[in-house]
Structure 1
Amino acid sequence: MRLLILLFISIGIGSIGYTQEIRYETVENISYVDETASDYAKEQCKLDIHYPASGDNVPVVLWFHGGGLTGGGKEIPTFLKEKGLVVVGVGYRFSPKVKVEDIIRDAAKATSFVMKNARKYNGDIDKMFISGHSAGGYLALMLTLNKTYLAAEGVDADQFAGIIPFSAQTITHFTARNEQGIKEEQPTIDELAPLFWVRKDAPPIVLLTGDRELEMLGRYEENAYLKRMLSIVGHKHTTLLEFQGYNHGMVYPGLPILLQEIKRLSDLRR
């Protein structure tokens, strides 16, 4: 059954629980790799952090940008600014200069860096969320369903309070398939597919997609299948929301829901 999302209901999108005046700052181009990294990694592997410079610690959301794992740039969605959050926009390397697995490892390094430094930016490490659009949503799911990438960086993926990808690929990403000479119209599920790693003990997951008739290459159906398989293995906290009338570029209608879900899942951690 399709879900019609009403975006202008009262969902408290002004902030995540803050009423006093808060001063926000943004720091840009923070490197999350060490000096032994390649010049390309030093150029790409940077992040921006928008954070409240006063007040109590607040939830943290990592935002991975889209672009098919071949392009794009780190970003902090304007809608998320000054909403009672620490928002981190993550940059990473691109195919074909590196393999998809290398990109996932970049995302893991960035995530580890943020978790280890969140308190410096008034971030609450018990309320960490991971999100992103399209390729960014794919990275969010790969990092949290396949725990080995974050474990290699000293992080337990189950520390996250929520996983909230926007229009993510849940089968093997088409750029990974391209590395294998497989056309993007040919679906594949292997170790580079979030679906391969379904597990009952993953943190709460909220899957957001555009209209199934307007989305890219079966993107809604991929997410619906992930939800179904998570349910089959016993995961009890998976939600799937479809934005009728919106295509793959469904970031804005999703952002108010992202805020709503961060608040809901944060409240569960109190």
Structure 2
Amino acid sequence: MPSQSRFISILGIFIIWQTLALLINSDTFPTAVDVFKSLAFHLSEGELLYHLGITLARVAITFFIAMVIGVFFGILMGSYKKIDTALDTLLIIGLNIPALVTIIICYIWFGLTDTAALLAVIINKVPTVIVTVREGARTVELKYMQIAQIYKVSKIDTLNKIFLPQIYPYIMASARTGLSLIWKIVLVVELLGRSSGIGFQLSMFFQFFDISSIMAYSSAFIIVILLIETYVLRPLEQKANQWR
């Protein structure tokens, strides 16, 4: 039934979009049909898949690195008060630096390279992961850890079977919000300083006021992200919560 409800909601959005576009009748607000025709054209040309693949690769790399770093420091800060106190100021600064500033600085310092682009995205994402995971580490039930210590459970088993399962929901929450944040930043990074990817293509279409192509490329990327959310992140979240 959930899949049926999603289909109905998507169909409703399509109908509302098509109706509004017909009523407004403006070149800057294409109909849903026109956008999907544009999407089909770019798919047939092959350029959309090429740029989509590049953007998804950047999203995957930055997502993985940011999650690993963020989870590591989030657990440390949530588990040890001294480390939390020492790094809290840096965390606040990281959370409040605008993404645009980080992107520009990375491009100036490291040049208009993929390394600079990926670094800018990682720097913007890591603090948000740390904050979420830190809160999870703070909520860990210490009595379970003490029981494991009494029964001389190995540190590896204690970590994998007692500690981590309690913070899995927080890790998954940071992953889901992180994915939505990362792909947006990646598009900005590509728009400002790369010669490939969805963001770069959007900047090109903007110069020609090709709104149909802009919405077609955006729709393709949103569809992929929705598929990842539905068939990857959501099942992982359910599996992570099985211990409860």
**TM bucket by the smaller chain?**
under 0.3
**Whose relative contact order is higher, 1 or 2, with alpha carbons under 8 Å and at least 6 apart?**
2
Task: Return the TM-score normalized by structure 2.
Answer: 0.25
Give the structure with the higher percent helix.
Answer: 2
Task: Return the TM-score normalized by structure 1.
Answer: 0.23
Give the structure with the higher percent strand.
Answer: 1
